[in-house]
Structure formats: structure tokens, C-alpha cells
Structure 1
Amino acid sequence: MPILTRRNLLKASAIAGAYGVGLGIAGKFAGKAAAAEPLTLKTAKIEANLTDGGTTRSVLTYGNAGMPPVVRMKKGEPFAARLINGIDDPTTIHWHGIRLPNNMDGVPFLTQPYVYTGDHFDYAFTPPDAGTFWYHPHCNTLEQMGHGMTGVIVVENPKDPAFDSEVVLNLRDWRLGGDGQFIAQFRPRDAAKSGTYGTVRTANWQQEPQYDAPSGGLVRLRIAITDVTRIYSFRMDGAEATVIAIDGNPVPQRFPLDLLQLGPGQRLELAVRIPDSEGAIVKLEDIKGTNPKVLATLRA
């Protein structure tokens, strides 16, 4: 029987904490989530149509169907996911903005080991807060995130007011050349400015996508900025929009979206009153800089 010393006690505590069996909130959350049916998220390298310049090669995603799926959870209910690594580089998943056990946070060498090619890692936790969040790797992020591995998380609250419909937008930049292929993700001279911007801007991997919404209805618009550089100045044209949450947190007092500036990793939730006239167009715009852009439209 080993002698109980301070060193042995600290060593045993560290091992217990690393595997989520220690006391406290992490162990409680991980245990509650153990019974959830796991969602499979398998990383893959695919081709995708992101521009008119041709099919883009070496796009990285989860699954084989294009953009990473919107992952839906419910506040206070166990969630589980299995990450299977199908790309050449090691990877992880970081659940950005969600309060969860440290050993589920997806930071290699700090909270979990690398997930190497062909291996898997099981995540299990219970989200304590509702809101809009996002997920991404914490490994070689310049390439993995820059090539597409960023997805949106929606944590639903069954007590929320009902909306007539919901639209989720994953906003991101791509560094693509005229032929539609990836170019250098980083330029050293941009480090002294505001970062290296993309050349193609998309919402849900499309340029200016359009979504139908009920005439006269109330739409919950969830927006996540999932790239690493661009700052947006949001404006809504053609409808009344009210800010109801920022970064997953309900705002203390709702206010009209006149002009709101948000940066990388941030999220925004809007309540948009769609016009009564069928066929009317509502535009979500980014008016920052010298090249204003329509990000997406809603059609009554």
C-alpha cells in the first residue's frame, strides 16, 4: 500500500481532475450528460462551390455535405458528440462561449489530448445557458478554421417566446484567388493593421443567400461571426429589427438595430418584423468600410 504523502495526494487529484471524476461542477455536468445520444461530427476534406470562379478544393468541414451543421442543444439537457478525425492534421472541438467542464473545452495539451487522424474523442456536457454560440478547432486554426471548420451552435430554451420562423447565419471570410482556390491565409504586413481579410464573404457558405419568411411574421435571426478578422457594422434595410441578445446573453433592454458593430467570434440575435406585403425584401447589410455589402436577404 503506497504511503499517503502530499505529493501522492496532489498526483491523484490531478489524475482524477483530468478524467472528469473529481468533485465539483465539472464532474457533475459530465456525469449528467453521459446518457445523451451522441452526435457524430467527422472532419473531412471536400470540394465546395463558394465562388463563380470554380469549385474550391481542400475545403475542411464536419461531414461531407458542405457547411458544418448547425448543432442544436437544449438548455439544461445532456448533450454528447463524438468527434472523428478524418483529415490529415490532429484536431479538437472547442464549444465557443458555452460554460462547460474544463476537460470538455477542446484545447489540446491544456484540457484534452490531440485527436489524431482516424481517432475519436467523446464530448459530453449539459449546457447551462440558452443562446447562440459556435464551434471550431483549436489546432492549426489559421488553416483549419480558414478552410471552413466553423459551425454554429443553437442552445434552445423551451421557455422562450415563440417566433414564426428562425434563420441561422454563419458569417465568414474566405481567402480565395480568382480561380476559386485558396491563397495564403496570412500576410505579415497585415499584422500591423487589422489583420488579413478574406477575399470572398459568405453567409452559410453562399454569397447573398435569400430565405423565405412569413409575411407579417416575426423572425428570429441568429447571426454568428465565425472568422478571425473581419469587423461588421450591421444594419437592416426594409424591416424593423430589434436586438434581443448579444454573445448568447439576452440584452438588459431591447433596442432597435440602427447600426451595431461586432467583431470576430461574436453573435447577435434579432427579432425581425417581416413586411405584410408578399414578395417584399429585407436586407441584412454590413456597411463598414468603403465596400458595403448585402450579407443575406429575407423575402416575405
Structure 2
Amino acid sequence: MTVLTRRRLLKTAAIAGAGGVGLSAMGRLGGWAAATPEPVVLQTAKIQAKLMDIGQTRDVLTYGNAGMPPVLRMKKGQPFAARLVNAIDDPTTIHWHGIRVPNKMDGVPFLVQPYVYTGDHFDYAFTPPDAGTFWYHPHCNTLEQMGHGLTGVIVVENPNDPKFDAEIVLNLRDWRLGDDGQFIDQFRPRDAARTGTYGTVRTANWLDQPQYDAPAGGLARLRVAITDVTRIYAFHVDGAKATVMALDGNPVPERFSPDALLLGPGQRMELAIR
């Protein structure tokens, strides 16, 4: 006869629990662990870009060398991996703004990760738990690095979302450029007691008033991210019916018109436009 003691009961429960976890993982994933996806390589670079009609702006910072930082697309509940390779003179990191990530993946130097120095790399890996529009940027010398272009948009897709006829992603930001199209000081001390130092050139996706096609009569999803450090935006849609679906990665409880909506640095908005 087996005597059921407290120690034996706990040991039996532990074995059963371990077996249950193993079987559950096998059933969900077809293996003992989720496959690690191939990382998206984000290599910092210093380039020239045409931000004004007068010519190329020097010392613009980006990831890759093809202009604006890429829109990163992830899927809710699916693993994502990225490798930051630092090819600029300053140390840098990546912060995944608005996404609930493990602390060690949050990109804040000395608090949760070390600097990524010139020539070094750092591997980020996490599973986004929420769908929505987010953005990514460094947390090192942010005024200079973000002011020179290191800001990109993130789209975390939800497979259960309704389908749209078109989707447009807009990265809204200022640039501190002089009349010659080159960078000027990113900060003026006298502005600290006011509303901050504003840029002199505004862009959407690094362009002046870009135009994008959508099917006539169709339903378009517009994802907007303000990747600026100072500018506050007021929105109004002309010539179409538009409603706000989400703010800062969260669905709104009741849709409303974007007219006179004010959004500040780091905020995001999703619009449905007919």
C-alpha cells in the first residue's frame, strides 16, 4: 500500500505539471519550442537625403541605406527578432515604443542593456502581445540621433482585423534645417521655457506632401505615427469621411471624427477613411 504523504503529493504534482507543459507545447507548436525567426537586420547608417528642393541634406541617419527607416511589420502573438548593427560613430540602441516587451529588450542603456558601440551588434527578440501602430527609435543621444532621422514605424498586425482596400503608413516628423538644406542646432536654450525647439521643415515619410493611391469608394486604413520630439499636430480630413479607430495602439471605445484632434510627440493614430 502506498502512503500518500505531502512530499509525495507535491512530487507527483510537479511531475504531472511538467508533463502537462511538455505535451501542451508539443501540441501547440509541433515541437518543444517556438522556432526563432530570421532576424531583421537594422544597420545604422549616415547618408544624404533630399529633404528640401534645394538639394541633398548631409549627415542624415537611418537604418539601411535606402532612405527612411523601414516600416517594420510584426504579427500579434508571433515571435519577432531584429539585429541592430551599429555603423555610426555614436553608441546607440533601439527602443520599441509602446510595445510591451521583456525589460532586457527595451533598449534603455545602463538600465536594461549596454550601449551598442560602433562596430558592435545587439540581438532583440520578443513576441508582441498587442496589435496596433507603434514606432522605434534610439535611447542614446536622442535629440541628435532622432533629430537626424533614426525614427521608424512599427505595424503589429492582428489576423482577426477586418480587411481594408488599402493601407497607408505615415511617419510624421520635423527637421531642423537651414536655408541651405543642412542641419542646424537641434536645440535652442531659450526654447526650454517655451514649448520646445521646433523644426523648420515638416515631412510625411520624409517627403513634402506625398500622394498615395487608394481605390475610389474603397475603405482605407491610415496609420499615423508622430516620430518628432516637439511638434504637436492637429488633424482634419478634407473630401472624405474619416473616423478614428485607435490611439496609441489601443482601439477607441467609440469611433469619432479626427477634426481638431491634437496629438503630440510619440503618439499614434489609426483612421478608417472612405
Residue in 2 aligned with 1:211?
212
C-alpha distance in structure 1 between counterparts of 2:70 and 2:112, whole Å: 24
* 1:33 Cα deviation from its structure 2 partner: 6.9
Residue in 1 aligned with 2:111?
110
> Once the two structures are superposed, what CA deviation does each residue of 1:158-178 show, in whole Å capped at 9, x if it has no partner?
000000000000000000001
Larger Rg: 2
* 1:154 Cα deviation from its structure 2 partner: 0.1
Residue in 2 aligned with 1:143?
144
Q: Does the aligned pair in 2 maintain the 1:74–1:156 contact within 8 Å?
A: yes
| 1:125 and 2:132 matched | no
Q: Could you list the runs of 4 or more consecutive aligned residues of structure 1 that deviate by over 4 angstroms after TM superposition?
A: 31-34
1:165-184 correspondence to structure 2 within 5 Å: 165-184=166-185
TM-score, normalized by length of structure 1? 0.80
Give 5+ residue unaligned stretches, structure 1: 1-30, 274-300
Q: State the identity as a percent.
A: 80
Supply the AA of the counterpart residue of 1:84.
Answer: V
Residue in 2 aligned with 1:91?
92
Q: CA RMSD in A?
A: 1.1
Q: SS at the partner of 1:59?
A: strand
Residue in 2 aligned with 1:237?
238
Q: Does the aligned pair in 2 maintain the 1:33–1:77 contact within 8 Å?
A: no
Give 5+ residue unaligned stretches, structure 2: 1-31
C-alpha distance in structure 2 between counterparts of 1:253 and 1:229, whole Å: 28
C-alpha distance in structure 2 between counterparts of 1:217 and 1:259, whole Å: 24
C-alpha distance in structure 1 between counterparts of 2:33 and 2:45, whole Å: 30
Q: SS at the partner of 1:189?
A: helix
C-alpha distance in structure 2 between counterparts of 1:96 and 1:83, whole Å: 16
* 1:257 Cα deviation from its structure 2 partner: 2.1
1:1-300 correspondence to structure 2 within 5 Å: 35-273=36-274
C-alpha distance in structure 2 between counterparts of 1:184 and 1:151, whole Å: 22
The alignment covers a number of residue pairs equal to: 243
Q: Does the aligned pair in 2 maintain the 1:72–1:156 contact within 8 Å?
A: yes
Supply the AA of the counterpart residue of 1:250.
Answer: P
Supply the AA of the counterpart residue of 1:183.
Answer: I
C-alpha distance in structure 2 between counterparts of 1:84 and 1:267, whole Å: 27
Q: Does the aligned pair in 2 maintain the 1:33–1:126 contact within 8 Å?
A: no
* 1:272 Cα deviation from its structure 2 partner: 0.4
> Once the two structures are superposed, what CA deviation does each residue of 1:265-296 show, in whole Å capped at 9, x if it has no partner?
000000000xxxxxxxxxxxxxxxxxxxxxxx
> Once the two structures are superposed, what CA deviation does each residue of 1:189-235 show, in whole Å capped at 9, x if it has no partner?
00011000000000000000000110000000000000100001111
Indicate the larger mover: 250-259 or 261-270: 250-259
> Once the two structures are superposed, what CA deviation does each residue of 1:8-58 show, in whole Å capped at 9, x if it has no partner?
xxxxxxxxxxxxxxxxxxxxxxx9776111100000000000001221000
Q: SS at the partner of 1:55?
A: strand
TM-score, normalized by length of structure 2? 0.87
Q: SS at the partner of 1:269?
A: strand
C-alpha distance in structure 2 between counterparts of 1:83 and 1:203, whole Å: 25
Q: Does the aligned pair in 2 maintain the 1:32–1:78 contact within 8 Å?
A: no
C-alpha distance in structure 2 between counterparts of 1:185 and 1:132, whole Å: 27
